[in-house]
Structure 1
Amino acid sequence: MGVIDTEGKNYLSNNKLFADAFNFLLYGGEEVIKADELKELDTTELTVPYGNNARVPVQKYRDLLKIWNAMMDNNAIYVILGAELQDKVHYGMPVKDGLYDMLGYSKQIAEIKRSYKKNTDGEDEEGELVAEDGVLKIKLTSEEFLSGLRKGDKLMPIITAVVYLGEEPWDGLRSLFEMLDVRDERLFKFLSDYKLNLISPADMPDEDFEKFHTELGYAMKLIKHQSDDADEIILQTNHRKFSPETAYFLNSAIKLGLEFEEEEGGVDMCKSLENRDKKMKISGAIEMLRLDGASDEDIIAKVMKLYNVTKEYVVALLAPQKA
């Protein structure tokens, strides 16, 4: 996993940001999923997907995986939400995500099977199953016993989002059907598709960033415009304070080259930008004075007077240039 993927994973692990991303994807920005309704899940998918006779397990690690548990219309809903972060286009992503989801469903089936226990004291060939405490829970038909599932058992739906943090638009295929070399279109009705659920700042119109309700929208906008309007977008925030998590994520994701000062209320990215530009200007002035043959003492004195900075500040800028 690359640096951007790692930083993005750490950033989006925050439940508020995670909920914001999925509310954008699933509900057009409506705040349906609440942060306190999300619970972290084990991101390891380990299963034997090809039946009990196949003993070679498949193991995959998701980037982020949470379960959403909420009440809707007086009914409890459970949905597993996964996120895969990419800083580069993955041309096999429909297959990769499809595998994750199928492993997730396979894992659910295995867990349901483990929730039952065969009554070894009974003589019923169809398989009486009891709860772990030994109390008879249900009797399965031979077909149900074979799979370990009751006919009416249901699985929790799994939705996986691909969060693409690259600067260029996603140019990969967005569904399994697009990847298949099908020469006879009549075959499509016998094939199952899998489509990507893609969150790609580079592909979003700017008005979509307003549909986010956290700093994630601002981060997405900066990612899209990192090579053209990033500085202007920062200045337009008018010294608004951002969380250190957002500031440091953006600094690593799009290499802003900013040094942050954490203040009460957060990080002022405008101030960090102004400090960066000032530092670049002073470094340029130091280089010009050095080319003119000025001594370090003269450079320190002149720069302190011209830019109203401390001696320690100038000395710190002199040291890298000497090296």
Structure 2
Amino acid sequence: MGKQNDAFTAYLGRAEVLADLYNGCLYQGEEVVQAGNLCEVQQFYQQRLSERVKRPTARRRERDAIRAFWNEKSYVLLAAEAQNQPHLTMPFRCMEYDLAEYARQLRYIRLKSEGKLKTGVEYLSKMGRNDHLTPIVTIVLYHGTEPWDAPKKLSEMMELEEIDPILKQMVQEYQIYVFSLEELQEEYFQTNLRELIGLMKRRSSKTKIQEYCRKHADRISRMDVATYDMICVMLNLKELQDKKEKYLENGKECIDMCKAMEEWAEELREEGEQLGMKNTLKLVAKMSENGDTEYIARLLEPEVFEQMAEKYGMKA
């Protein structure tokens, strides 16, 4: 699962995918966030440790994905975290990232204002009244198979039942936004993130994967290479990954994954038939050894085959 989460992290780092993620999760597919209006920002932070700790003086923390989004109305930082299993401290983890980013912004403001703030509150604060922090929004994309049953608010990590109501209201509500694949509407996404989500939602059934590919052949037949690689990793399709060069088209800009899936399904069918034949021969041998020869000629009858398979412990 670590390899899959690393792959998802790299995939979310693409501007067009991050924009599509926000539009699909928050704006029902409306293109509010445009990839052309996203720019790279610092993705990692150096956290200083106590001088009394006899270890390196700093450690590096890195977000999965973050970009600055700007338009005529606003300037905000959009971040995303990929998570493959529920995490009981996820609100705190996201808060740590946010605090590290705000601390970086404050250091920049103080450096910019050094020597300019002479007296009063601004001097004490090392920040001018017209200076502002850039807000951060974080989406957690959960791609695990178990339901998310972990906290989404900082307060859900606390025991607040016995606290005085007034004090309870004063506890800050720090909330994270967790979107599980199962709750996402595929049609809200415009990039091949749509197909990645659609296939991962059906990963428990090869038949459903095939049905999805046939139904959406127009898009899946011209999939970008990065998404093809992601699908191979997330669905554990190493055989398709090894054959990637075979399906590259249009100057190696996109891949016909529909054709790849069809050939993969045919290979699975042939393997299944071969396995079925081997199992049938084994069953016939056991029946002959134990005197059930009168039923061998009737094995094409489903009821007889099932009865004999169960008798000899070969029922699937």
TM tier, smaller: 0.7 to 0.9
What is residue 300 of structure 2 aligned with on the other side? none
Shift in alpha-carbon separation, 1:58–1:116, aligned structure 2, 3 A:
farther
**Distance in 2 (alpha carbons) for counterparts of 1:161 and 1:226:** 23
Deviation sequence 1:19-78 (CA, Å, 0-9, x none): 01112233232111111111111211235699xxxx965642111111112113xxxx21
Which of residues 174, 183, 190 is equivalent to 1:213?
Answer: 190
Kept in 1, the 8 Å contact 2:138–2:177? The answer is yes
What is residue 251 of structure 1 aligned with on the other side? 232
* Residue 181 (structure 2) pairs with residue 201 (structure 1): yes
What is residue 222 of structure 1 aligned with on the other side? 199
**Distance in 1 (alpha carbons) for counterparts of 2:199 and 2:269:** 24
**Distance in 2 (alpha carbons) for counterparts of 1:269 and 1:22:** 25
What is residue 304 of structure 1 aligned with on the other side? none
What is residue 234 of structure 1 aligned with on the other side? 213
Shift in alpha-carbon separation, 1:104–1:113, aligned structure 2, 3 A:
same
What is residue 189 of structure 1 aligned with on the other side? 169
Gaps of 5+ in 2: 51-55, 282-316
What is residue 140 of structure 2 aligned with on the other side? 162
Give the 3-state SS of the residue equivalent to 1:71 in structure 2. Answer: coil
Paired amino acid for 1:93 = M
Give the 3-state SS of the residue equivalent to 1:83 in structure 2. Answer: strand
Gaps of 5+ in 1: 119-128, 130-138, 293-323
* Residue 165 (structure 2) pairs with residue 179 (structure 1): no
**Distance in 2 (alpha carbons) for counterparts of 1:223 and 1:280:** 19
- Structure number with the higher helix fraction is 2
- Give TM-score scaled by structure 1 length: 0.73
Shift in alpha-carbon separation, 1:21–1:140, aligned structure 2, 3 A:
farther
- Give TM-score scaled by structure 2 length: 0.74
Kept in 1, the 8 Å contact 2:13–2:64? The answer is no
**Distance in 1 (alpha carbons) for counterparts of 2:217 and 2:81:** 33
* Residue 138 (structure 2) pairs with residue 152 (structure 1): no
Deviation sequence 1:113-137 (CA, Å, 0-9, x none): 111232xxxxxxxxxx2xxxxxxxx
Aligned length: 261
**Distance in 1 (alpha carbons) for counterparts of 2:91 and 2:236:** 29
What is residue 23 of structure 2 aligned with on the other side? 23
Shift in alpha-carbon separation, 1:49–1:20, aligned structure 2, 3 A:
farther
Shift in alpha-carbon separation, 1:179–1:270, aligned structure 2, 3 A:
same
What is residue 63 of structure 1 aligned with on the other side? 64
What is residue 276 of structure 1 aligned with on the other side? 264
Paired amino acid for 2:110 = K
**Distance in 2 (alpha carbons) for counterparts of 1:263 and 1:197:** 38
